Amino acid sequence: MIIILSCLFVTLILSSVVMLLASLLAKKTITDREKNSPFECGFDPKGSARLPFSLRFFLIAVIFLIFDVEITLLLPLAMIINFSNIFTWTVTGAIFIFILLLGLYHEWNQGALEWAN
C-alpha cells in the first residue's frame, strides 16, 4: 500500500513540476496586432474571423453523429449471435432497428433532413 501511495505522490509531484515549467517557459510576453489577427495570405482580413455557420449543416451533423453512434451499438449484436438465444437476439435487434427507423421517420417528418427550404 505504501508503494502505491509513494508512486502516486512521485507522479503527482513530477507532473506538477513539468506543467509549471511548461507554463513558465511557454509564455509569450510579446503580443501585437499582427500576431493576434487571423492570417489571410499576408493581407488584412476582409471580414470577421468568427463567421456563423449554417444551422442546417449543424443539425445534419448532429443527426449523423447520433445515427453513427447507434450503428456502433449494432455491431456487437452480430458478434453475440452464437452466444445468445436466437429468439431474444432477433427481438432485440428488431426493436433496436425499429427505434432507429422511428427516429429517422420523425426527423424526416419534422423537415430536419431537407437541406434547402
Expressed as residue numbers, the domain containing 85 is: 55-110
Tens-digit pLDDT profile for residues 35-69: 666 666 666 556 665 667 777 788 788 888 887 88
Tens-digit pLDDT profile for residues 64-117: 888 788 888 888 888 888 888 999 989 988 998 899 889 889 988 988 777 766
Any domain includes 75: yes
Residue 11 corresponds to which cell in the numbers above? 507522479
Any domain includes 117: no
At residue 37, φ and ψ (nearest 5 deg) are -90, 155
Distance CA(69)–CA(75), nearest Å, equals: 10
Number of domains in the chain: 2
Q: Which residues pair with 43 in a beta bridge?
A: 40
